[in-house]
Amino acid sequence: MSAIKTEGLTKRYGEKKAVDGLDLTVEKGEIFSLLGTNGAGKTTTVKMLSTLIGKTAGKAEIFGLDTEKDRQKIRQLINISPQETAIAQNLTVRENLEFMAGAYGIKNPAKKIEELTEKFGLSPVLEQKGKTLSGGWQRKLSIAIALINEPKLLFLDEPTLGLDVIARKELWSVIEAMRGEVTVILTTHYMEEAEKLSDRVAVMSSGKLRAMGTPQEIIKQSGKDNFEDAFVSLATGGEF
C-alpha cells in the first residue's frame, strides 16, 4: 500500500482548474518534493491530500483511506509544518511542546518531549520564548511540534524559507533523518534543496503533472544538464 495515491485528482474554482487530473503515487518512507512555480497547483494539491479542502473529481487515498470518506482517520495519521511557523511566540520552547502534547493527548508527554529535544538539539533553547529564537530554531521547533503526534505522513511547506545557508543545511540534516521513518511531502522553491533531499520529485505546471521521478530521471527527461534547468524547462513548457 502506498502512502499517497491519486487518480485523476481535480479541483475546480469556477471555470479554472487549479489541479487538473493529477495521477500521483508516493511510497511509504519517501521524501517526495512537489515542485512548481507560483500558481502551479502545489498548495491546492497539499490541501486536498491533507483533507483541508475537498476535491471536485478523481480519487485520492492516504494509506488506503479515502480523503473524503475517511477524513478523521487520515487526520490522526498526518501533520503539517506550515510555511509560517506555528509556534506560540510568548511560550518557551518547552511550553510549546507541552501545550501541543496536551492538545494531542500524548500519554507520556515528558518522554516524548525529551525525545524531540534530543532529536532536534533543542536543549540550548528549551527555556527561551519563541519570539527570542532565530529563524532556524523556530523552524526546528515548528517541525518538532508537527512530529509530536508521531504522524506517518508529514507535509513540510517551504521549511527553509528565509534561513541563512548554515541554518538551511542544519535543517536538511533533520529532514534527511526522517527518511524511512516518516513519509515527507516537501514543497520548496530551492532546487538545490529538492535535488539534495528528495527520493523523487513531481513537477507541476498549470495544475497538471509535467514530470515525476528521481532528480536524475527528471534531468534526463528534460534533456538539460542540471536539475535547476530541468525544472525551469518542465515548469514553463520549455519557454526558457
Span 177-221, pLDDT tens digits: 999 999 999 999 999 999 999 999 999 999 999 999 999 999 999
pLDDT of residue 237: 75
Containing 90, the helix (H) or strand (E) segment is none
Average of per-residue pLDDT values in the chain: 94
User: Percent of the chain at pLDDT above 70?
Assistant: 99
Band of pLDDT at residue 162, cut at 50, 70 and 90: confident
Q: How far apart, in Å, are the Cα atoms of 65 and each of 17, 27, 47, 120? A: 24, 14, 16, 31
pTM: 0.92
SS3 of 63, please? coil
Average pLDDT rounded to a whole number, residues 30-35: 97
Fold of the 1-42+54-77+154-191+199-240 domain: Rossmann fold (3.40.50)
Confidence of residue 239 (pLDDT cuts 50, 70, 90): very low
- Domain locations along the chain: 1-42+54-77+154-191+199-240, 87-150
pLDDT category of residue 20 using cuts at 50, 70 and 90: very high
For residues 57-83, give the mean pLDDT.
96
Whole-number Å distance between alpha carbons of 95 and 103: 12
Q: Are 210 and 240 in contact (CB under 8 A)?
A: no
Which of 188, 133, 134 lies closest to 161, judged by CA? 188
Q: Give the model confidence (pLDDT) of 40-69 as tens digits.
A: 999 999 999 999 999 999 999 999 999 999
- What residue has cell string 507541552? 98
List, in order, residues 6 or more apart from 172 with CB less than 8 Å away.
Answer: 160, 193, 196, 197
pLDDT score at 163: 87
Tens-place pLDDT, residues 103-146: 999 999 999 999 999 989 999 999 999 999 998 899 999 999 99
Residue 238 has pLDDT above 60, yes or no: no
Burial class (CB in 10 A: 0-12, 13-18, 19+), 86: middle
DSSP tag of 29 = T
What is the reported pLDDT for 240?
41
Find out whether 80 and 64 touch, Cβ atoms under 8 Å.
Answer: no
pLDDT of 176 higher than 60: yes
The confidence band for 83, taking pLDDT boundaries of 50, 70 and 90, is confident
DSSP single-letter state for residue 219: H
Do residues 175 and 184 lie in contact, with contact meaning Cβ atoms separated by under 8 Å? yes
CB 230 within 8 A of CB 218: yes
Of 14, 18, 82, 76, nearest in space to 48 by CA:
18
- Grid cell at residue 188: 520548496
Residue 86 has pLDDT above 80, yes or no: no
